[in-house]
Copies of this chain bind each other. A is one copy, B any other.
Amino acid sequence: MVGNVLVGQSGGPTAVINSSLAGVYKTAKAQGAEKVFGMLYGIQGLLEEKYVDLDEHFHNDLEIELLKRTPSSYLGSCRYKLPDYEADTAIYDTIFQILKKLDIGYFFYIGGNDSMDTIKKLSDYAETIQSNIRFIGVPKTIDNDLEATDHTPGYGSAAKFIAATTREIIRDSLVYDQKSVTIIEIMGRNVGWLTGASALAGSTECAGPDFLYLPELDFCLEEFIKKIEQLQKTKKALVIAVSEGIRLADGRYVCELTEDVKYTDQFGHALLSGSGKYLSNLVSRELGCKSRGIELNTLQRCASHMASLIDITEAFQVGEAAVNAAVEGKTGEMVIITRVSNRPYQCTTGTYDIHKIANIEKKVPLTWIKEDNTGIAEEFMEYVRPLIQDELTPIMIGGLPKHINYSIF
């Protein structure tokens, strides 16, 4: 490799984003990289020259194994949007000066939509100044909303946790001989990939959620209450999965109907939690029955103890593929996963033009959602089922899953 390697993590963390970091690190070393630097807190930290030499932190393969089992972004993260370089080159000058100082030849950024925007802008700018540095995006997001790739590392583990937990919650909901409605609120601002995954809870011993409401279609409060009332005639304990991002036909988020203070991040994304609680209060009020809102919250993105082995493995592989692609001379691309077959489940990695990925959200196809938005089609189940398979046994110490040390900050 010509020059050193720089790798960063960006956006919301996942249970397996560190497995991609492990993949980049191990492959870069195997490819002969002299130094592999990790930027702390993504591009925002890099601007403040916050970085580490990863050799000083990963001493042996046991630590790499712990890294793969540690949730959240080991290097820290940011939600930082670069300005257009046509408007402001100053920040780009700073970044490229730092890259030059560290003799960086390869730049890897593990992230989602917003992070791919960073790769796009940096690779475009590199072209204008004829820099040889190669910029490759490594896909990551529990939301599974990245274009061009069959699915996104992080999604499978979140789906597995959601499905396992939904099954446990359904079991819990059955105990009393009385009417009750449990509403599970699942992440996904504009896409229902995660909410749909709750249907995997269904099995010979579990009916699965009774209704699922995805954000791809409008949500109607009256219809919602009516459906519950109807089903309650034959079933006492109902469990319903809703996306945090469900919206009324007039565009308002259901969670906005509450009074809670909302924090908004730099990309203008408000915290969308509260739809489950709001709906459970509505059910109690309208139908007079016991109702409970359960927000899976950050647990669904950091539950490494329930990670999918398929997901952890693929997360490592996309890191590996990113380094190999950069060594082959590629830049301005993101690694993608292509599904070759479903039975047996087989995937390959490739790369794809970042311009056709950044800032685009891949939604659940409408044909995969029931017309009245109360469930998903079998195609969705076929798609997601392989992604939650198998486990990477946690390393348990003192009764708890062990993580890698966090002395990096």
Contact = CB atoms under 8 A, between A and B. Distances in A.
Contacts of A389: 398-399
Interface string A249-277: 00000000001110100000001000001
Given A160-B400, A206-B406, A281 B302 contact: no
A306 B73 CA distance: 23
Contacts of A263: 284, 290-292
B299 A176 contact: no
Contacts of A204: 405
A78 B165 CA distance: 23
Nearest to A168: B302
Interface string A52-90: 000000000000000000111100111100000000000
One complex includes copies of this chain to the number of 2
Name the residue among A78, A396, A397, A406 with the largest chain B CB count within 10 angstroms.
Answer: A406
A45 interface: yes
Contacts of A291: 263
Contact of A76 (B174, B200, B390): B174
A206 B302 CA distance: 15
B78 A205 contact: no
A13 B50 CA distance: 48
Contacts of A305: 164, 168, 306
A172 interface: yes
Nearest to A288: B263
A175 interface: yes
B44 A401 contact: no
A174 B409 contact: yes
A41 interface: yes
A400 B200 CA distance: 9
Contacts of A29: none
Contacts of A44: 177
Contact of A259 (B76, B259, B294, B391): B259
Given A176-B41, A177-B44, A297 B294 contact: yes
Contacts of A41: 175-177
B299 A284 contact: no
Contacts of A312: none
Given A44-B177, A398-B385, A406-B206, A71 B172 contact: yes
B206 A403 contact: yes
A303 interface: yes
Contacts of A285: 261
Interface in A142-201: 160, 163-165, 167-169, 171-172, 174-177, 182, 200-201
A134 interface: no
Contact of A175 (B73, B176, B292, B390): B73
A295 interface: yes
Contacts of A397: 203
A363 interface: no
A404 interface: yes
A176 B76 contact: yes
6 contacts: A41-B177, A72-B175, A76-B175, A169-B302, A388-B399, A388-B400
Interface of A: 9, 13, 40-41, 44-45, 50, 70-73, 76-79, 160, 163-165, 167-169, 171-172, 174-177, 182, 200-201, 203-206, 259-261, 263, 271, 277, 281, 284-285, 290-292, 294-295, 297-299, 301-306, 308, 385, 388-391, 396-406, 409
5 shortest interchain CB distances as A-B pairs: A388-B399, A77-B175, A72-B171, A41-B177, A172-B302
